[in-house]
Amino acid sequence: MSQSVIELRNVNIYQGDTLVLTDVNINVEKGEFVYMVGKTGTGKSSLLKTLYGDIELTDGQGWVVGFDLSKLNWKTVPFLRRNIGVVFQDFQLLTDRNVNENLRFVLKATGWKDENLMKEKIADVLTKVNLKDKGLKMPFELSGGEQQRVDIARALLNSPKLILADEPTGNLDPETSDEIMQLLFQICKDSNTSIVMATHDYMVINKFPARTIKTENRRLWDNASISMN
């Protein structure tokens, strides 16, 4: 296999018993930034969930960060997810603990044990997202943009080969959206991390152009042309 981080061949994706995407074929290479667009209900979330091991792959062949999606089970899904960072629209931070403890919680949940190594890693990811002095802040003390940066820091904790970002600028003002996009592109470039970002914001795509795939009429269209209409 090549340097593909995602490779899907002749894949059908179901939500329950309903076919939502048919004959999906896509490669995403190491270090590539890809937008995923499409109207609500056209299969974007289902595709992300399939890549993340949340929806079982039953038709076709698929590999994500070297894992065969058709052979995943409850024992192997956690290992897949350690190689994937996920960035959410609504941040999903634990509100009862500070930034450092939010990040420490994820490290412990993914098998880290050495306290010194955990401290070093937390300092490292907070520096990467320009929040190195915010570790003792509670989530409610941070702006929306800062909370999204913590979410991105959390996604970087296990040095993922792939980041799946689901509408990461959806709740942010335009200026903050630009900052988050610059950060994501910087991570993509500096760490050679592949990023697949679902978005409805065509202004972001026009400002930060990259390969774009589109879900429409149960199909996945690669290198889709995006109009503002």
- Section 48-62 average pLDDT: 93
Please enumerate in sequence order all residues whose Cβ is within 8 A of that of 15, keeping only pairs 6 or more positions apart, or say none: 43, 46, 55
Q: For residues 165 and 201, is the Cβ–Cβ distance under 8 A?
A: no
**Within its chain, how far is the Cα of 129 from the centroid?**
15
Q: At what angle do helices 99-109 and 115-128 cross, to 10 degrees?
A: 120
**Higher-scoring residue by pLDDT: 89, 118:** 118
H or E element at residue 144: helix 144-156
Q: Report residue 114: phi and psi, to 5°.
A: -75, 115
- Section 98-122 average pLDDT: 94
pLDDT of residue 224: 65
Model confidence at 229: pLDDT above 60:
no
What pTM was estimated for this model as a whole?
A: 0.91
Q: For residues 85 and 163, is the Cβ–Cβ distance under 8 A?
A: yes
Q: Which two tokens stand for residue 193?
A: 């991390």
Q: For residues 100 and 122, is the Cβ–Cβ distance under 8 A?
A: yes
Q: Map out the domains of the chain as residue ranges.
A: 1-83+160-229, 94-159
pLDDT of residue 7: 96
Model confidence at 84: pLDDT above 90:
yes
> Mean pLDDT for the chain?
91
- Model confidence pLDDT, tens digit, residues 160-197: 999 999 989 988 899 999 999 999 999 999 999 999 99
pLDDT of residue 225: 64
Q: What is the dihedral sign for C-alpha 170, 105, 186, 196?
A: negative
- Please give the CATH superfamily to which domain 1-83+160-229 belongs: P-loop containing nucleotide triphosphate hydrolases (3.40.50.300)
- Model confidence pLDDT, tens digit, residues 133-148: 999 999 999 999 999 9
